[in-house]
A and B are shown apart, each in its own frame.
Chain A
Amino acid sequence: MDFHFTKEHQLLRKMVREFANDVLARTAAEIDETGRWPAENVKLMADLGLFGLPFPHEYGGAGAGEMGYAIALEEIGRVCTSTGTIVGAHTGIGAMAIYLCGTEDQKRKYLLPLARGEKLAAFALTEPNAGSDAAAIQTMAVRDGDEFVLNGTKIWITNGDVADVVTVMAVTDRGLGARGGVTAFIVEKGTPGFEVGSLEHKLGIRGSSTAELVFNDCRIPKDNVLGDFGAGFIVAMKTLDVGRIGLGAGCIGGAQACLDAACRFAKARRQFGKPIADNQAIQWMIADMATELEIARWFVYRTAWMMDTGQKFTREAAMVKLYCSEMASRAANKCLQIHGGMGYMKSFPVERMYRDARIAEIYEGTSEVQRMVIAGQVLRQY
């Protein structure tokens, strides 16, 4: 057993940390305040290879594996959750679906520019009547010669308005249901009949964009079927399994930022003639935050290692997503409590960190869905 990161991964962490501190920290509050999508930072990250970290060199990636990707997401999440969300939607699920399930031609055509950061990706599953019940999607794709005609609406799609390539789940045979009746498609921006609808205003991750995508007789060539015909649900599940690791990594970054802020504040803030860090009530919160964070951190990296070494990790990825997201929310809650009134004010970053933490318990599968997955995986063994 060896718990050391490789020299390469250590240097990667150093680079991303420096970049996050120098560049992302400067805009984190502003993009939250204004809801502006940080195009300039996205360009800089693309130029550093941060959009293709887990993918092999031959597909334009950095060859850093899921481990390297998780390290980067932790460091980005420590400084700016909005930016972590942009990278996660692009790399973790958008491009990842093509990497996991695409043909060689699809990988050359779509994954290569996505991994290089020349183009952006999104992943479109959710619909107004299909959230946790992903099998209830209504978007239809009907075969017409060498094409499929896509009709329907997707909502809450991260990067939806800025993405050049979107992986879209659609029903191809309603009679067959989720297993066999859903197919994944690669849809390019600018395809006639594909339009971006309204953008959402959100509680947190306000620097990332969340869009409605509308498909109105949108014709997709049959070569753009991703994975086997009728196997869209498997494409989605395989992709979301991987996405959960990176999402958990972002959460440990967020929780680390909360712990850092809480400790610094608790040592500086004096009440009753001494730093509040001297009070047991504060110390217990700090101890719980640090302990849970340490557990979460090693669970994320172990699960990334399982993926990189070719092991099954569906159960672990769901546990990572569940535990890390709820842990990060607890950490943000305690951090705000330690800051007292100051934590509630806009002049401190804590209130943003508190709002940003909340989404992780919901997107890419709610805590409740993760528990369904975990229970199913566990009970299957008996």
Chain B
Amino acid sequence: MRIVVPLKQVPDTNNVRIDPKRGTLIREGVPSIINPEDKNALELALSVKAARGGEVIVISMGPPQAEEALREAVAMGADKAILLTDRAFAGADTLATATTLGTAIRKLGGCQLILCGRQAIDGDTAQVGPQLAENLGVPQVTYVRRLDLEDGVATVERELEDGHEVIQVKLPALFTVTKEANKPRYPHARAIMSCYGPGKLECWSLADVGLSEETVGLNGSPTKVKRTFSPQPKGQGEMLSGTKQEVVKALCRRLRGRSLL
């Protein structure tokens, strides 16, 4: 079975400090990591491979330094990594990203299982997984925390706020995986020392993927960012004190004063 895991390299937002004067993120010196839930997806893929055999291919669209994330995935146990990197891919929104990833996966000759992280900690859209499933024309289930495979059918648990659904899907299919699914493994020291070796990573340019410039990167992105801003901090709440009756009276007075009662 061939399993593809799309990965994103993200800044480690746990280590991002905020500039106290300007209220913006200090990105300088912030380490880049594999998006945490993408690691859960990779762990799930590796455990499926361990149980049923096959190969795990990790794929990422990003700048050349995204190679580090893919090499780490190889150290964890992925068989092969593909880095989609080209200036033309820059500025992609989730749709252009899904288009690029989907075309690359077709070029690989397709796969039975695509496991994505639920969402990335930088963009937080949770859109690339579902859009990729649409692009590939395969069924999808989001928020998966458990996956069982039998005779080409996946039985998955889909997390909800107040419980979970059990869903059966025929493969090929795409699942987005939550952090509850597993605890990702640490790479073995020996695998770390050999993960930069030859033959483990391929870089594909726009021409290699075989898409036109109009469909990728900023050109292929219908999302337009109008502006970005930091939300105004809410004012301090006011605590009313006194006996219950005093507090209720004081509250009613205020609500009436604002014509809310």
Contact = CB atoms under 8 A, between A and B. Distances in A.
A7 B189 contact: no
Interface in B176-216: 186-196
A50 B190 CA distance: 9
A35 interface: no
B134 interface: no
If over half of A's interface residues share one DSSP class (helix, strand or loop), that class is named, otherwise mixed; here it is helix
A11 B186 CA distance: 11
Contact of B186 (A7, A48, A52, A63): A48
Contacts of B189: 12, 15, 48-50, 52-53, 62, 64, 68, 72
Contacts of A68: 189, 193
Nearest to A10: B68
Contact of A49 (B31, B71, B190, B195): B190
Contacts of B195: 8, 11
Interface in A14-71: 14-15, 18-19, 47-50, 52-53, 57, 61-64, 68
Contacts of B187: 11, 15
A11 B190 contact: no
A11 B191 CA distance: 10
A18 B187 CA distance: 11
A72 B188 CA distance: 13
B39 to A, nearest CB: 11
Nearest to B72: A11
A63 B196 CA distance: 13
B3 interface: no
Interface residues of A, number: 21
Contacts of A57: 190
B75 interface: yes
B190 A18 contact: no
Contacts of A48: 186, 188-189
Nearest to A116: B190
A318 B71 CA distance: 37
Contacts of A11: 68, 71-72, 75, 187, 192, 195
A63 B71 contact: no
B10 to A, nearest CB: 15
Nearest to A22: B186
A8 B186 contact: no
A163 B32 CA distance: 40
Contacts of A7: 68, 71, 196
> Could you say which of B72, B75, B189, B190 has the most chain A C-beta atoms within 10 Å of its C-beta?
B189
Contacts of B72: 11, 14
A12 B193 contact: yes
B192 A8 contact: yes
A339 to B, nearest CB: 24
Interface in B208-236: none
B192 A12 contact: yes
Contacts of A8: 192-193, 195-196
Given A11-B75, A12-B189, A64-B189, 15 more contacts: A8-B192, A8-B193, A11-B192, A14-B31, A15-B186, A18-B186, A47-B188, A48-B186, A49-B189, A50-B189, A62-B190, A62-B192, A62-B193, A63-B194, A64-B192
22 contacts: A7-B68, A7-B196, A8-B193, A11-B72, A11-B75, A11-B192, A12-B189, A12-B193, A47-B188, A48-B186, A49-B189, A49-B191, A61-B190, A62-B188, A62-B189, A62-B190, A64-B189, A64-B192, A64-B193, A68-B189, A68-B193, A72-B189
